[in-house]
Amino acid sequence: MTNPLYDALIGDKSTTNAPFLISQEGEVFSYGQFTARAGQAAHALQQLGVRHGDRVMVQAEKSLDVIALYLGTIRCGGVFVPLNTTYTAKEVEYFLTDAEPTVFIAKPENAKNLEPIANAAGAKLLTLSDDGRGTWFDFCGNTCSAVFASECTGSDLAAILYTSGTTGLSKGAMLTHDNLLSNAQSLMQAWHFTSDDVMLHTLPIYHSHGLFVAINTTMLAGASMIFNHKFDAKKVIGQLKGATVLMGVPTHYVRLLKQPELTKQATSNMRLFTSGSAPLLAQTHNDFTSVTGHKILERYGLTETNMNTSNPYEGERRAGTVGKPLPAISVEVRNPETGEKVATNQTGSIEVNGPNVFAGYWRNMEKTYAEFRADGFFMTGDLGFFDDDGYLTIIGRSKDLVISGGLNVYPKEVESEIDGITGVLESAVIGVPHEDFGEAVTAIIVKKDDNIVTKQMIFDCLNSKLAKFKQPKEIAFVDQLPRNAMGKVQKNLLRDEYCDLFSNKRS
Predicted confidence (pLDDT) per residue in 13-33, tens digit: 878 899 999 988 889 999 999
**Domain parsing of the chain, residue ranges:** 4-17+28-152, 191-295, 402-497
Checking if the pLDDT of 192 tops 50, the result is yes
Residue 127 has pLDDT above 80, yes or no: yes
DSSP letter for each residue of 209-232: IIIIIIIIHHHHHT-EEEE-SS--
Give me the pLDDT at residue 72, please: 95
In the CATH hierarchy, which fold is given to the domain comprising 191-295?
Rossmann fold (3.40.50)
| Rounded Cα–Cα distance for residues 316 and 310 (Å) | 11
57 has a pLDDT exceeding 90: yes
In this predicted structure, what is the pLDDT of residue 488? 66
Question: Per-residue pLDDT for 257 more than 70?
Answer: yes
- Predicted confidence band at 245 (pLDDT cuts at 50, 70, 90)? very high
Question: H/E element holding 322?
Answer: none
Residue 415 has pLDDT above 80, yes or no: yes
In this chain, the answer to whether the domains covering 191-295 and 402-497 adopt an identical fold is no
Residues composing the chain: 507
- Position 467 pLDDT exceeds 90: yes
Task: Specify the pLDDT at position 148.
Answer: 64
- Residue 401 pLDDT exceeds 90: no
Q: By C-alpha distance, which of 293, 241, 306 is closest to 264?
A: 293
What's the mean per-residue pLDDT of the chain?
91
Rounded distance between C-alpha atoms, residue 293 and residue 268, angstroms = 9
Distance (Å, rounded) from C-alpha 410 to C-alpha 400? 7
Please determine, for residue 167, whether its predicted confidence score (pLDDT) is greater than 60.
Answer: no
What's the pLDDT score for residue 400?
Answer: 66
pLDDT at 145: 61
CB 457 within 8 A of CB 420: no
In sign, the C-alpha dihedral spanning 308, 245, 25, 69 is positive
Write down the pLDDT at residue 406. Answer: 87
What superfamily does domain 402-497 belong to in CATH?
A: ANL, C-terminal domain (3.30.300.30)
Confidence of residue 492 (pLDDT cuts 50, 70, 90): confident
Tens-digit pLDDT profile for residues 293-309: 999 999 999 999 999 99
Q: What SS3 state is found at 444? A: strand
Q: Is the pLDDT of residue 504 over 70?
A: no
**pLDDT at residue 413 in the model:** 81
* Topology (CATH level 3) of domain 4-17+28-152: Rossmann fold (3.40.50)
Report whether pLDDT(163) > 70: yes
pLDDT band for 165, please (50, 70, 90 cuts).
Answer: very low
Q: Examine the pLDDT at 506 and tell me if it is beyond 80.
A: no
Q: Which pLDDT score, from 0 to 100, does residue 250 have?
A: 85
409 forms beta bridges with 402
User: pLDDT value at position 358?
Assistant: 98
Tell me: pLDDT of 166 over 50: no
The whole-angstrom separation of Cα 206 and Cα 160 is 11
